């Protein structure tokens, strides 16, 4: 079993000719099947996370990225079994803790509110002069 593409056929159906032997990085490796739990990471060629309880998530519309706790796996378009077993994979929908985002949002809105009040007071001073 390998992760190469030269053993597949061309779009026309023609067979590809092998132009090199099998290489080490083309080996198929076992899946990590990352679960929710206390952090457990094995070092292989890179890192293989076996269990994770936190992650770095981005809130795109607010331009805010925070490290937060993973609570649950809610949906996975590829496989329902991964939802039942709470397996963390790319593109799965997770339920996360919103506290860091709420704190960031409240601090940002309070800062904006203060700056708007400042601008309003400056505008009032200008109109009274």
Note whether residue 58 is domain-resident.
yes
Yes or no: say if 88 and 75 are a contact pair by the CB < 8 Å rule: no
Q: Cα separation of 99 and 101, whole Å?
A: 5
Task: Report if pTM > 0.95.
Answer: no
> 65: domain range?
32-111
The answer to whether residue 46 scores a pLDDT higher than 70 is yes
Yes or no: say if 7 and 32 are a contact pair by the CB < 8 Å rule: no
Note whether residue 84 is domain-resident.
yes
Q: How confident is the model at residue 103 (pLDDT cuts 50, 70, 90)?
A: confident
Q: Cα separation of 23 and 44, whole Å?
A: 17
Note whether residue 86 is domain-resident.
yes
Note whether residue 117 is domain-resident.
no
The answer to whether residue 60 scores a pLDDT higher than 70 is yes
Q: Cα separation of 7 and 23, whole Å?
A: 13
**pLDDT the model gives residue 13:** 93
**CATH code of the domain covering residue 70:** 3.10.290.70
What is the total count of domains within the chain? Answer: 1
Note whether residue 123 is domain-resident.
no
Q: Cα separation of 11 and 13, whole Å?
A: 5
């Amino acid at each position: 079993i390998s992760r190469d593409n030269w053993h597949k056929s061309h779009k026309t159906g023609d067979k590809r000719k092998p132009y090199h032997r099998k290489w080490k990085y083309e080996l198929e490796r076992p899946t990590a099947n990352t679960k929710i739990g206390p952090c457990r990471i094995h070092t292989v060629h890179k890192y293989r996370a076996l269990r994770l309880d936190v992650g770095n998530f981005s809130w795109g519309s607010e331009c805010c990225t925070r490290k937060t706790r993973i609570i649950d796996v809610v949906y996975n378009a590829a496989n329902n079994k991964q939802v039942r077993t709470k397996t963390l994979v790319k593109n799965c929908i997770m339920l996360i803790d919103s506290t860091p985002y709420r704190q960031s949002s409240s601090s940002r809105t309070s800062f904006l509110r203060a700056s708007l009040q400042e601008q309003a007071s400056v505008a009032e001073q200008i109109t009274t002069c």
